[in-house]
Amino acid sequence: MNWFLQNFSHRIRFAFQNPGYTFRSLYREVTLADERFLASVAKSQPRDLRSFLNEPARTESFSKSLKQAETDFRDLEIESADLYAKKVLLQYAAVRAFRPDIVVETGVANGVSSAYLLLALELNNRGTLYSIGLDDARFLPPGKSLGWVVPVDLRSRWKLVLGDARDALPKLLADLKPIDVFIHDSLHTYEHMLWEYRTAYPYLKSGGLLISDDASWNPAFPEFSREVVANQAQIIRGVGFLSKA
């Protein structure tokens, strides 16, 4: 099954509401623009990146788990983010192609991104995901725990660290150094994003990846890219990707 056919009705509504964005996105799809950039930083091939995008939908157990999550969100009468958004799939494909040993992410909440990352590690047959998250009921559906979307059969590669990134991230990085991939997905303020980038970057291996969700929300990502003189940095579908020289 193609990733684009997942949540198809949502995509059609979005296309009619945002024709300009849709046209640009279709152009990038036809030219493999997103995949070409990711292939360059992940040392892979564009066609491989494109094939990785379809894997979650074709992995029966994972696809079934996401559909159950959709049902749970609907039953709880909570509007969820697009569980099949390309911005999540691009992070999945990057990790799948890059084949990292150590991935650190901040921000867990329901665990949608964590689930995709863990599937990538599982199919790579290598790597561990360290996730820092706040186990705060205010940010979770009633009766659900932190990262509840993550399937049980993918949790063996997952190390969940409870706490605020301001406290937990420096210690975790010092314990793990060096790391292959850092992913920001916690508090999306300019100050906090810049702090996380600056905190994690020194611990990245040469050639390692820094990924930032919602990088278009403020100028933190482009500013940091200039600060470290990154030759390969780009925001794709709202997600920032940067390769450490």
Predicted confidence (pLDDT) per residue in 188-229, tens digit: 999 999 999 999 999 999 999 999 999 999 999 999 999 999
Q: Where are the alpha helices (DSSP H) in the chain?
A: 8-17, 19-31, 33-42, 46-53, 55-58, 60-75, 86-98, 112-124, 165-176, 190-200, 220-227
CA angle in degrees (0–180, nearest 5) for 29-185-88: 25
Instruction: List the domain boundaries for the chain.
Output: 3-243
In this prediction the pTM is 0.89
What are the residues whose beta carbons fall under 8 Å from the beta carbon of 134, sequence distance 6 or more? 108, 146, 162, 163, 164
| Tokens matching residue 214 | 């919602």
Q: Calculate the average pLDDT of the chain.
A: 89
For the segment 28-52, the average pLDDT, to the nearest whole number, is: 90
CA angle in degrees (0–180, nearest 5) for 158-159-162: 130
Total length of the chain? 245
List % helix, strand, coil for the chain (3-state, nearest 5): 55, 15, 30
The CATH fold assigned to 3-243 is Rossmann fold (3.40.50)
Q: Are 180 and 102 in contact (CB under 8 A)?
A: yes
d(CA 52, CA 90): 9
Give pLDDT tens digits for 113-153: 999 999 999 999 999 999 999 988 777 888 889 999 999 99
Could you tell me the pLDDT band of residue 15, with boundaries at 50, 70 and 90?
low
| Tokens matching residue 40 | 């360059």
Q: Given this model, what pLDDT does residue 139 score?
A: 74
Which of these, 7, 222, 211, lies nearest to 93 by C-alpha position?
211
d(CA 136, CA 149): 16
